[in-house]
Structure 1
Amino acid sequence: MSKQAPRAQWASRLGFVLAAAGSAIGLGNIWKFPYITGQNGGGAFVLVYLVSIAIVGLPIMMAELMIGRQTRRDAVGAFIKLEGKRSPWCAAGWISVAAAFIICSYYSVVAGWTLEYLYRSLLDSFSGQPAAAIEGMFGGLTANGPRQLFWHFVFMILCLGIVIGGVQKGIERWNKILMPILFALMVLLFLNGLFSAGAWQGLAFMFRPDFGKLTPGSVLEALGHAFFTLSLGMAAMITYGSYLNRKENLLSASFRVVLLDTTISLMAGVAIFSVVFSVNMQPAAGPGLVFKTIPVVFSQLPGGQFLAIVFFLLLAFAALTSNISLLEAQVAYLIDERGWGRKRASAFLAGLAFVVGIPTALSYNLLSEWKVVAGLVFFDAADLLASNYLLPLSGLVTAIYVGWFWSGAEEKQQLLAGGAGWVYPAWHFLIRYISPLAVAVVLYFKVRDTGLFAWIAALLG
């Protein structure tokens, strides 16, 4: 490994907050959060989600930022610097970087769907079409491998163009442009929802708890999403933390990121459910809510083409700001641990992610008969591995390490340096007991429900 160059830093606090918020705010906020809220009954689920953000998401985010800022290294190099190259704790870094790569490869394909729907919105493809025809467009897209590959390529090129520019001139600069636009678009859709005929129903569904609709599965879903939505366990926050000024208030910075991320999720829920109720449709549409139900809703509203353009532009921007953080987490590893230059590392990893993403784009067409494991196509298997196993496992190991094995003096000093030392007792209690227990429970049930124990037993038998 070559001698490490001086560490890049964020040019400003705002630059870091927008970049970290951009990493956290993605399709999980605008696509997944509304549909899982709809599936789990609304208000009570939202309340559990908010509590989970506070006691699981925020403490682990602070822990990851601490590790990055303390070591000034990528996720793998951070644990090497703290514990040595042969330490088993390095597994947390390796798992998180592996998760970042896998998610980056298939996330780009899903992001390509948003570009396709943005293109169709610009052409006004939804107006005047029957609901069945609009809903069928998504099936037509997933059945079209070459078209998905085209958008997958376009999206990955956009990510590469930003990451190759570096921390300040690439990631920070573009997040300062993209994130304000994203917020403005979200406010526009939110206000449209508030002034729609279904506004009261949408607000009541989101914020009036009905605990009779809350199930143990709903609680686990809320816990899991609180972890996923903040980009935890995927090396991004450790990497972004490594570019953070040592005098920055970690509590304040983390809270701002969490607040922006949560606000966007709640606004997206209100915006979507309000217009869904306004045309007498049901909120529990599942994963097809965004790509099937919402285009149908917009086709029935005055100014629907404009709203569709705004909505899918918002989705595309959210996907872009998230995916650049996944790519940067991998690029930082090659720069820090292998001595590669940024341009070479960025181009190599973007190209590799594109190639690995090809089977994802072909999973529901040319490769639909190829079942990777347990009857799952490549896309579903990759998502299962990364989202259900690697992310919570990385987060669990990190929480246990920081809560039980990393020097408490170093942790406290990290908080004292930014003037947040007063929060140390509460944070340390959460990261030591509550957060790892919650993530362990989520991981156990993810493993149980997806049949991993049965697969292992079959292999051993």
Structure 2
Amino acid sequence: MADSNRGSFGSKLGMILATAGGAVGLGNVWRFPYMAGQEGGAAFILVYIGSVLLLGIPCMISEFVIGRHGASNTARAYTKLANGTAWKWVGFLEVLTGFLITGYYAVVSGWCLQYVYASIIGELHGDANYVTQYFQEFAADPFRPVLWTVVIFLICHFVIIHGVRGGIEKASKVMMPLLFILLLIIVVASCLLPDAGKGVEFLLKPDFGKVDRNVFLNALGQSFYSMSIGMGCICTYASYFSRQTNLFKSALQISVIDLLVAVLAGLMIFPAAFSVGISPDSGPSLIFITLPNVFNKAFAALPVLGWIISLLFYVLLSVAALTSLMSLHEVNTSFFYEELKIDRKKGAWIVTISCAVIGAFCSFSLGATDKLSWFGKTLFDWFDFITGQVFLPMAGLLTCLFLGWYVPKKILKDEFTNWGTLKGRLFGIYFFLIKFVCPILILLVFLNQFEVL
């Protein structure tokens, strides 16, 4: 049962939007469309949907079960179910992972705010070389990226200190609909460009000839990372769920929202890129170098429209970054204020200040100094590598083993069926997946990252 003094979501819609906001991030906007386009278009999307059903949704439900049952921060929720065994450290691993991701993710989130500002004052107009040089000079600047990192932390901090209903839920009810409105506006503008149909075809026309082992492994990896498994966000938000929340239905709804954002992002990017003959690249280069060039060329005849679309796009990115950052911040805030027995505001300040310092050093490593690089990787790259390729799959794998092989099956069934008030027809399938299938799939994702397979 939940502590009556803890926060909780005030409505089902608020809960879904907040949790979906935690899952939807920058990866949906650049990584998914690029992977779909390169690996079979609609064929990849179909494989991805299968991966979500086999891996993403069962893992999300698992974190829901732990979070709601524990009704506390992620570390304590695992500890309650671990009964004094070493399994409790899985919760601490998730909190640590969320803490480290918060630090470096805020750097890229800050870049989005810089590009909103740059769009407003018209700094992004120019040829491809100018846009490339603009990004490189900005990323290497010792001051501006850190300033924007601090700004986005302060915005996030302001939301977090107002609690679950007054902060996270209220902000999510504004930001998630705004995200979809902005997406739809840019999709329409992009699809009305000359030759935009080629971009739509590139994304949505199935090419089953490209479907091979790598497509399956990449789809599994994308389904795992896209849904924010293993970093404490899902578990922490679930601790604010009511006993009436249908965990399976909620996981399904959040997965649909996550997929919808990703596909709409593809319909936003590819038609515009194909219209001007620019091949979309992956990663930060797509967001901060390729797309400004795409917008400049695509709307050259109507510069004002190009300016509006560019501005809306970077506002969209900032919203996506902020909803994810809020969930990461809350993972750590809830941990500190509950474990240190301090108030929420003090817990939030610990996270904001410490993660801003981490973010500053990660930012410095990207060009301001060469003293923060080791073995060919910058500090930013090391944070990304250790959290993304090691800690996240490790936490996901251990969570499945924890629930599948250690926690009493009755606890899982009670949570899944809301203590018998819901029909548990799918429980057997869910339990089989997390006990046998999901651990194997996560292991495959882990090995594929290191090119062991």
Task: Return the TM-score normalized by structure 2.
Answer: 0.94
- Other-structure match for 1:65: 64
TM-fit CA distance, 1:244: 0.2
TM-fit CA distance, 1:253: 1.2
- Other-structure match for 2:103: 105
Q: Retained in 2: the 8 A contact 1:25–1:229? A: yes
TM-fit CA distance, 1:37: 3.3
Q: Retained in 2: the 8 A contact 1:198–1:276? A: no
- Other-structure match for 2:91: 93
Change (3 A) 1:377 1:170: same
Q: Retained in 1: the 8 A contact 2:93–2:391? A: yes
The two structures, once aligned, show a CA RMSD in angstroms of: 1.9
Q: Which aligned pairs between 1:22-61 and structure 2 lie closer than 5 A?
A: 22-61=21-60
- Other-structure match for 1:438: 441
Distance 1:316 1:197 in 2: 28
TM-fit CA distance, 1:366: 2.5
Q: Which residue of 269, 272, 281 maps to 1:272? A: 269
TM-fit CA distance, 1:287: 3.9
After superposition, give the CA deviation of every residue in 1:140-174 in whole Å (9 maximum; x if it has no partner).
11111211011011011111111111111111111
Deviates more, 1:196-205 or 1:144-153: 196-205
- Other-structure match for 2:342: 340
1:383 and 2:395 equivalent? no
Change (3 A) 1:145 1:215: farther
Distance 2:278 2:124 in 1: 17
SS in 1 for 2:426: helix
Letter in 1 for 2:384: D
Q: Retained in 1: the 8 A contact 2:25–2:320? A: yes
SS in 2 for 1:124: coil
Letter in 1 for 2:396: G
Q: Which residue of 119, 122, 126 maps to 2:120? A: 122
Letter in 2 for 1:259: V
1:398 and 2:395 equivalent? no
TM-fit CA distance, 1:34: 2.4
After superposition, give the CA deviation of every residue in 1:70-123 in whole Å (9 maximum; x if it has no partner).
1111111011111234x2211211111111011100110000111111111111
Q: Retained in 2: the 8 A contact 1:22–1:322? A: yes
- Other-structure match for 2:166: 169
TM-fit CA distance, 1:232: 0.9
Q: Retained in 2: the 8 A contact 1:35–1:287? A: no
Q: Retained in 2: the 8 A contact 1:32–1:287? A: no
Q: Retained in 1: the 8 A contact 2:99–2:355? A: yes
Q: Retained in 1: the 8 A contact 2:30–2:283? A: no
- Other-structure match for 1:429: 432
Q: Which residue of 150, 173, 178 maps to 2:175? A: 178
- Other-structure match for 1:21: 20
Change (3 A) 1:175 1:289: same
Deviates more, 1:186-195 or 1:304-313: 186-195
SS in 2 for 1:329: helix
TM-fit CA distance, 1:39: 4.5
After superposition, give the CA deviation of every residue in 1:43-84 in whole Å (9 maximum; x if it has no partner).
333332222112110111011011111111111101111123
SS in 2 for 1:145: coil
- Other-structure match for 1:139: 136
After superposition, give the CA deviation of every residue in 1:386-410 in whole Å (9 maximum; x if it has no partner).
0111111101100111122221111
Distance 1:53 1:195 in 2: 31
Distance 2:383 2:434 in 1: 29
Deviates more, 1:140-149 or 1:440-449: 440-449
TM-fit CA distance, 1:282: 1.5
Distance 1:145 1:33 in 2: 31
After superposition, give the CA deviation of every residue in 1:298-351 in whole Å (9 maximum; x if it has no partner).
112131111001100000001001001001011111223221210000011110
Distance 2:423 2:30 in 1: 34
Deviates more, 1:234-243 or 1:336-345: 336-345
Change (3 A) 1:337 1:420: farther
TM-fit CA distance, 1:41: 5.0
Q: Which aligned pairs between 1:277-296 and structure 2 lie closer than 5 A?
A: 277-284=274-281, 286-296=283-293
Deviates more, 1:298-307 or 1:12-21: 298-307
Q: Retained in 1: the 8 A contact 2:228–2:234? A: yes
- Other-structure match for 2:307: 305
Q: Which residue of 152, 155, 168 maps to 2:152? A: 155
TM-fit CA distance, 1:286: 5.0
TM-fit CA distance, 1:220: 2.4
Distance 2:36 2:128 in 1: 23
- Other-structure match for 1:454: none
- Other-structure match for 2:417: 416
After superposition, give the CA deviation of every residue in 1:190-243 in whole Å (9 maximum; x if it has no partner).
222332334322222122222333453343222112111111100011110010
- Other-structure match for 2:226: 229
Change (3 A) 1:251 1:147: same
After superposition, give the CA deviation of every residue in 1:238-282 in whole Å (9 maximum; x if it has no partner).
110010001111111111111111100011011101111111112
Q: Retained in 1: the 8 A contact 2:28–2:261? A: yes
Deviates more, 1:207-216 or 1:379-388: 207-216
TM-fit CA distance, 1:38: 4.1
Q: Retained in 1: the 8 A contact 2:33–2:203? A: no
Q: Which aligned pairs between 1:193-204 and structure 2 lie closer than 5 A?
A: 193-204=190-201
Deviates more, 1:331-340 or 1:294-303: 331-340
Distance 1:298 1:153 in 2: 28
SS in 1 for 2:124: coil
TM-fit CA distance, 1:415: 2.1
Letter in 2 for 1:387: G
Distance 1:448 1:126 in 2: 38
Q: Which residue of 366, 369, 373 maps to 1:367? A: 369
Q: Retained in 2: the 8 A contact 1:159–1:324? A: yes
Q: Retained in 2: the 8 A contact 1:249–1:420? A: no
Distance 2:443 2:335 in 1: 27
